[in-house]
Amino acid sequence: MKNWNIGKRIGLTSAILIALLLAVGLTAYFALSNIRKTTETELRAQKVPGIIHSSEMTSLMLRGYLRILFAVEAATPELRDEDLAGAESYYDKVNTAADNYEAAIADKEDHNNFAKAKELGKQYAVQRTGYVALIKAGNKAEMADYFAKKLEPSYEAYRDQLGVLLKWNQDAVNQLANDMSATARRAVNTNLVIIVFALGIAIVLCLLLTRSIVVPIRKAVGVIDQLATGDLAVELT
């Protein structure tokens, strides 16, 4: 580099600075791409739908359960049948939400949790059918025993497992948010390091470039001064 002309030195300095700027850009690009991929594939396609559908299942199941309890105390057979029909309508919606949830599953643990919830849901449906038959028969004493020993325990088991599904998805979303935040922090820190390094390199290169220009000029001025004094023996280099 000592024998390079000014154009080459400026070109080298510019190339180094451009390379460092490209490094900053690429680091930011890959970090943002990773965040976008996580958002599109895991959050939007899997975890957020999981929260929505598990919440729907829990809410709809509770409404159906309450309609069954209302049917027990209905004043007329017509009101009883209306409550029972409303309950079945809610449970049809629970099944639809369950199908939507299952379609969005991508994690093995989530799949296992859902499989358990699905099995408990089947057991609850069996107990619910038996309880509805007793309601229609009007057997109050048998209804109370059936409710305490079969319907309520199966409902609570199913409800609790749906709560497990919801919590798992909430925890997964929180973990993804933390991962994205960590990715962003790493990208920012990396870019700061590169920028500081680039500024340091730029300062050093500018000093070297300035020195490579100023030193020859000073030498030339010194030669001119010597020639001006009549010293023709000075060497021109």
**Domain contains 217:** no
Q: Quote the pTM value.
A: 0.68
Beta carbons within 8 Å of 180's beta carbon, 6+ residues apart: 35, 38, 39
d(CA 130, CA 145) in angstroms, rounded, equals: 12
Q: Which domain holds residue 105?
A: 6-200
Examine residue 155 and state whether it is found in any structural domain, yes or no. Answer: yes
pLDDT, mean of residues 143-166? 94
Note the pLDDT tens digit of each residue in 21-70. Answer: 777 677 766 766 666 665 655 555 556 778 888 899 999 999 999 999 99
Residue 120 lies in a domain: yes
Would residue 177 count as lying in a domain? yes
Q: Are 162 and 58 spatial neighbours (Cβ–Cβ below 8 Å)?
A: yes
Q: Is 4 helix (H, G, I), strand (E, B) or coil?
A: coil
Residue 43 near residue 173 (C-beta atoms within 8 A): yes
**Is residue 205 one of the residues assigned to a domain?**
no
> Going by C-beta distance under 8 Å and a sequence separation of 6 or more, which residues neighbour residue 68?
83, 84, 87, 128, 131, 132, 135
Task: State the average pLDDT over residues 126-149.
Answer: 91
Residue 104 lies in a domain: yes
Residue with tokens 């799949």: 111
Q: Is residue 93 part of a domain?
A: yes
Paired tokens of 38: 């996580």
Chain segment 183-198, per-residue pLDDT in tens? 777 777 777 777 777 7
Interval 77-90 mean pLDDT:
94
Q: What is the CATH number of the domain that holds 148?
A: 1.20.120.1730
The whole-angstrom separation of Cα 65 and Cα 78 is: 18
Domain count, the chain: 1
pLDDT, mean of residues 73-85 = 92
